[in-house]
Amino acid sequence: MALKLAYETWGEGKYPLLLLHGFTGNRSSFDHLRPLLSEQVRAIAVDLPGHGETPLPSRTGRDGFLETVEALFGVLDELKVPTANLLGYSQGARFALAAALTKPERFGRLIMESGSPGLHRRQERTERRAKDANLATFIRQKGVEAFVAHWESQPIFAGLRNLPAEQQEVLRSRRRACTVEGLVGALECLGLGVQPDYWPELQRQRLPTLLLTGALDEKFTQIARRMAAELPVVWRRTFEGSSHAPHLEAPEEYASEVVSFLRTPWYEAPQFENAAPDKSAAGGQG
């Protein structure tokens, strides 16, 4: 039986936008952006496997990753949406890229926040799988509460500790709603160590692409710079004062950037349909 992703829709705008959350999130992860985006987008927010109400794939490892990618198309088919835009955060950004490369005809534009095309070296993937296996053991032995405390203590999430207390509690409650089985299973089938290496594929990714990162997140900002050098049509924005999650740390600026990107008329003239994409049309790599 094919994997089915739980989802909900919101917004009254003209731009269909598939929203893909990060690890420990769920389809409510972008709810705080509803007042900022609802007039412009028709959001389709999904629960990725092991999160929210979506079960784990029938397979683990790379096969489970690819099964999840196929399930994204199932959501669009069920809603009868022939073409949508993609926005993914962290884990979700990796799936957004994978979907765009798998069936580019189903998408208009791609937005990746703090995402990666994968690990290029086999040794890196092996090391990451071992790291995720250790984290899975920690979750099994210590439980979700201890894991959440460990997860939130990472330097990459330092900016989230500056959020208002109420917002921090909403985020913490969402993470605590995860299950041991869901988190462990997600590490085994959605993790960076099992994801295919998409670096060699970037040059054929012809969708207009927006790369969003926080300036305090040096690792993913550097990854975005490297990606921008490979992608044919790309626009990159770094949010000053933000770390790994600009959609939470700078929501107004973030929403404005997303809407501006979706509204930009990339291909106005029909005679240029078959021409090679021009980076300058997307504002270059800056």
- The pTM for the full model equals 0.92
pLDDT score recorded for residue 279: 38
Per-residue pLDDT of the chain (286 residues; tens, 9 = 90+): 789 999 999 999 999 999 999 999 999 999 999 999 999 999 999 999 999 999 999 998 999 999 999 999 999 999 999 999 999 999 999 999 999 999 999 999 999 999 999 999 999 999 999 999 999 999 999 999 999 999 999 999 999 999 999 999 999 999 999 999 999 999 999 999 999 999 999 999 999 999 999 999 999 999 999 999 999 999 999 999 999 999 999 999 999 999 999 998 865 434 334 333 443 333 333 3
Q: To which H or E segment does residue 49 belong? A: none
Mode of pairing for the β-strands spanning 234-239 and 209-214: parallel
Rg over alpha carbons for the chain, rounded to the nearest Å, is: 18
pLDDT score recorded for residue 270: 41
pLDDT score recorded for residue 265: 83
What 3-state DSSP class applies to 229? Answer: helix
Helices (H), 153-264: 165-176, 180-189, 218-230, 246-249, 251-263
What is the rounded distance in angstroms from the CA atom of residue 181 to the CA atom of residue 46? 19
Q: What is the dihedral of CA 268, 273, 275, 280, to 10 degrees?
A: 30
What is the rounded distance in angstroms from the CA atom of residue 187 to the CA atom of residue 178? 13
pLDDT score recorded for residue 127: 96
pLDDT score recorded for residue 64: 96
What is the rounded distance in angstroms from the CA atom of residue 155 to the CA atom of residue 169? 19
pLDDT score recorded for residue 267: 55
Question: What DSSP assignment string belongs to 51-69?
Answer: STT----SS-HHHHHHHHH
CB 141 within 8 A of CB 122: no
pLDDT score recorded for residue 158: 92
Q: Which residue has the tokens 């501006």?
A: 260
pLDDT score recorded for residue 84: 98
Residue 64, token pair as written in the block: 């489970």
